[in-house]
Amino acid sequence: MTSQPDLQAAGPLTLVAATAADLMTPKPVSISQNATVKEAIAFLSDRGFSAAPVIDESGRPVGVVSRADIVIHHRNKADYVPAVPDYYGKTDSDTSSGEPLAGDSQVETTYQSRVRDIMTPEVFSVSSEAPARRVVGDLVGLKVHRVFVVDQGGVLVGVISSVDVLRHLR
């Protein structure tokens, strides 16, 4: 087990970064607003992310999708039970329209909702030249875990998370 430094004995911490470009993780992976919720689940799970930027067709951030957004969507999704159970009129090998399935076919229920339908549609962004002090102030003041770094055209070029800020404390 590695020992943790005694931060109280080390004195006050200092942010060693001048601009947002110093703090950011460049070229962040993102997800399209047109992706399905099922694709978002796989994207976040496979990469071990708690959230990701959502972009439009031009690469501009339009929101954030998080595991919490997916859980809330799933919890609020209404599942209705049919008035007359289907098993009275169908066999296990019938489709919802009543057509028989081929012997080796399987039926899969998929999420049809899109990321744009469940994401948090607020985008907090800064330019790469923004002072690091302002970025920290924005994270704290807005009570968010990440801000996006965009170029002059509004295209996503980086992400700054609270962990990125912590990495620059000395």
> What is the structure's pLDDT at 78?
57
Residue whose token pair is 């800020």: 165
In a domain, 82, yes or no: no
Flag whether 39 is in a domain: yes
Record the pTM. 0.73
3-state SS class at 134: helix
In a domain, 83, yes or no: no
Which residue type is seen at 104? D
In a domain, 19, yes or no: yes
Q: Output the domain CATH number for residue 39.
A: 3.10.580.10
Q: Which of 154, 150, 169, 162 is nearest to 28 (CA)?
A: 150
Which pair of structure tokens corresponds to residue 85?
A: 């159970």
Residue 5's pLDDT is 62
Domain annotation covers residue 115: yes
- pLDDT tens digit string along 92-117? 555 555 565 555 554 444 457 899 99
Within-domain flag for 1 = no
Distances (CA, A) of 47 to 4, 12, 38, 141: 27, 34, 14, 28
Q: Per the structure, how many domains does the chain have? A: 1
7 within domain boundaries = no
Report yes or no: 113 and 73 within 8 Å, Cβ to Cβ: yes
Which pLDDT score, from 0 to 100, does residue 120 have?
Answer: 94
- Evaluate whether residue 96 is within a structural domain: no
Residues of the chain with pLDDT under 50: 81, 106-110
Provide the 3-class DSSP secondary structure of residue 8. Answer: helix
Domain that holds residue 129: 14-77+110-167
